[in-house]
Structure 1
Amino acid sequence: MKKITFLLAGSLLALSCNQSKTSDGNQDAKVQNTEASSTTASAQTSTGNKKFDIESIPVSTIDIGEFPFFTAPKGAMYINNVKVKPFDFIVAATDDSLFEVEGKVFRAWIHEDKSGGIEISNRYLLKSYEDAILAAGGVKIFEGELKGDRLEQYNKLVTYAGDDGSFIPSDGQQMLTYVIRRNDGNVYIILEKKDFATTSFQIVQEKPFQQTIKKITADDIVKDLSEKGKSILYINFALDKSAITTDGKAIVDQIAKALKNDTSLKIAIEGHTDNTGDGSHNKKLSDDRSLSVMTQLINNGIDKTRLSAKGFGAERPLVANDSEENKAKNRRVELIKVN
């Protein structure tokens, strides 16, 4: 089977012949595909007002390349240097339901490429994507606007609204939903109808969640202390307090085990916070938390002469405190090997 290259620019020539009064003519997109015709014929039928059932849609085996599968059409570009998220979700809409789809996600705004010298329209963008999606064996499962309770429910579900290319629907705003049913993960695409030359492109390929968190062991701690001179740990405490949670105590138990395995090992326990809130409060909180870890270790049988504790608040961030993800990285406990 030949691999399909979805070069969206130039794939609407055939469509424009029949719809010359409504399309952008020679700005069309072309899909280089010699195998899709039989699949495309059956794929162009929307589910209409019928109840959505993924099992009723033919499975596409067409090679569509690497995620996110579709380039921006000629004369357009994805903006803001957006990246693929290995795991996230998108809320899809059909005539009868709203539902979350989890997996690999890409969301981007599409604007006219000012350097390209080509004037484009929203119709051109939507036709370009639809032609490419149908050629990939896709089916349009919704076109229209969300109203009343459905609109309110959708906007409650899309907690990512406004992020990257995710638009926020409102009364009178139309959207389109497509699905490509595949054995390697169904692909859902959402586009936005507008009255000017831009749209949003949201795509998700269903993938199961893969756990990446692993249990911290004494061996991990010893290895870090030996190779790096320190071990960075994320010990859970009660919110804005120094009390160690049950999960946090499990990590402290592993620290104690590491110290028991090497009786010559001495460590300094350093507490760190992000920059949220008052600086003096954060300093005291980090002090109290590092002392809590030391106390727990002493209770586990570790000689207090092998331990010291100090908090630094937000004075020594690992990374810039410019996102919630980075702030979480800065809220940590570091064990420093003392020679």
Structure 2
Amino acid sequence: MKKTVLIFGLSALIVSCNQSVKQQEGTEDSTEVTVEANEVKTAEANTAADFNIEDIAFSTADIGDFPFINLPEGLEADKGAIQKKFDVCFFPINGTMTPFEGKLYKANVSAVRGEEYSQRYFEKSMEDYLLSVGAVTMFDGEITKEEYERYHKQDPNKGDSGDIGYWNQRIQVFTIRTKDKGNIYVQFTSNNAGGKLNILQEEAFQQTITKVTADDIVKDLNEKGKSILYINFDVDKSNITTDGKEVVTQIAEALQNDKRLKIAIEGHTDNTGDASHNKTLSEARANSVLNALVIDRIDKARLTAKGFGAEKPLVTNDSEENKAKNRRVELVKVN
């Protein structure tokens, strides 16, 4: 009888322990699920909209002047690197490609002639240097294909030198916040063939366009012998737009103020497209300006018009910015 009671008691104890263990295991499983759910929720909430540059401490390091970084020994920027006074660059803030504007430097990086490129050498050099000057890591990973599809058509430099921001790239982003040079964003990517580097010094846009006046035109004609104007026409046509007519009005006023002035109106284009077509178009545009001045009661005997197409560029046609400079009308003083 005593043996029976003892056996029953041990059995009850074993069952009780097993139930306790199962309850503890069930509790641990529930806790792990809860933590994972919280992590997912945090990641979803942590978007680019949550980013605040003021949360980052100022760096007190001397970082030099734009673009602030000399490449590691044995590496160089390939020809065609972009350096612009003002442009836009997209950086993956919490995985969302976010545009920042300011001074921009973008380059492909390769080994100097006779050297072998090392992916880890480039990455390690960049990481260590940036951290040494107080930079903060903002992102290290890949964006999704969906994110690339969302933003890439907004990037005017897509496909150019130093292009970063594809879904199969590991992108590393660092931010340096300074009191004297503002906010600086650096991103780079690399593989075993070469690297890419982007540096942006954030700055607000400053408008530099001013209205052309008759006084400006007369001053240029008297001091330089010519006045370079950017008169807007309809695309691939000689029709003067409303904005362009305002410039023509100022030309007419300049000629009315000085009855002795005679000018040659010269039309110019960039080198895009067929050369013969460009020359014909530039001549048609020059004549459109001449005819508009005659309508504004300027004696036609004081005017001549000729088109040169892309024969006389102001600057080389090696960028969209330079091509825009070459699409112009020049007034040349004849007497």
TM range (shorter): 0.7 to 0.9
Q: Which moved more, 1:65-74 or 1:305-314?
A: 305-314
The aligned runs of 1:218-233 (5 Å cut-off) are: 218-233=214-229
- 1:135 corresponds to which letter in structure 2? S
Query: 8 Å contact 2:143–2:165 — kept in the other structure?
Result: no
Query: 8 Å contact 1:256–1:300 — kept in the other structure?
Result: yes
**d(CA) in 1 for partners of 2:84, 2:109:** 18
Work out whether 1:205 is the aligned partner of 2:201: yes
Name 1:56's counterpart in structure 2: 55
Name 1:149's counterpart in structure 2: 146
- 2:136 corresponds to which letter in structure 1? V
The aligned runs of 1:1-339 (5 Å cut-off) are: 49=43, 50-51=46-47, 52-80=51-79, 82=81, 84-114=83-113, 121-167=118-164, 169-171=166-168, 173-183=169-179, 184-194=181-191, 196=192, 198-339=194-335
Displacement after TM superposition at 1:255 (Å): 0.8
Q: Which moved more, 1:307-316 or 1:242-251?
A: 307-316
**d(CA) in 2 for partners of 1:125, 1:214:** 45
Displacement after TM superposition at 1:235 (Å): 0.8
Alignment TM-score, normalising by the size of structure 1: 0.77
Displacement after TM superposition at 1:188 (Å): 0.9
- 1:57 corresponds to which letter in structure 2? I
- Do the aligned partners of residues 311 and 108 (structure 1) sit closer, same or farther apart at CA in structure 2, a change above 3 Å counting? closer
Q: Which moved more, 1:198-207 or 1:147-156?
A: 147-156
Query: 8 Å contact 1:91–1:157 — kept in the other structure?
Result: no
- Do the aligned partners of residues 197 and 124 (structure 1) sit closer, same or farther apart at CA in structure 2, a change above 3 Å counting? farther
Any idea what SS the aligned residue of 1:93 has? strand
**d(CA) in 1 for partners of 2:308, 2:95:** 54
- Do the aligned partners of residues 224 and 166 (structure 1) sit closer, same or farther apart at CA in structure 2, a change above 3 Å counting? same
Displacement after TM superposition at 1:96 (Å): 4.6
Alignment TM-score, normalising by the size of structure 2: 0.78
**d(CA) in 1 for partners of 2:201, 2:315:** 31
**d(CA) in 2 for partners of 1:278, 1:83:** 27
Query: 8 Å contact 1:176–1:193 — kept in the other structure?
Result: no
**d(CA) in 2 for partners of 1:313, 1:81:** 26
Query: 8 Å contact 2:95–2:143 — kept in the other structure?
Result: no
- 1:94 corresponds to which letter in structure 2? I
Query: 8 Å contact 2:95–2:139 — kept in the other structure?
Result: no
**Structure having the higher Rg:** 2
Q: Deviations over 1:141-166 (max 9, x none)?
A: 11111123123224334331332222
Larger helix fraction of residues? 2
**d(CA) in 2 for partners of 1:176, 1:57:** 17
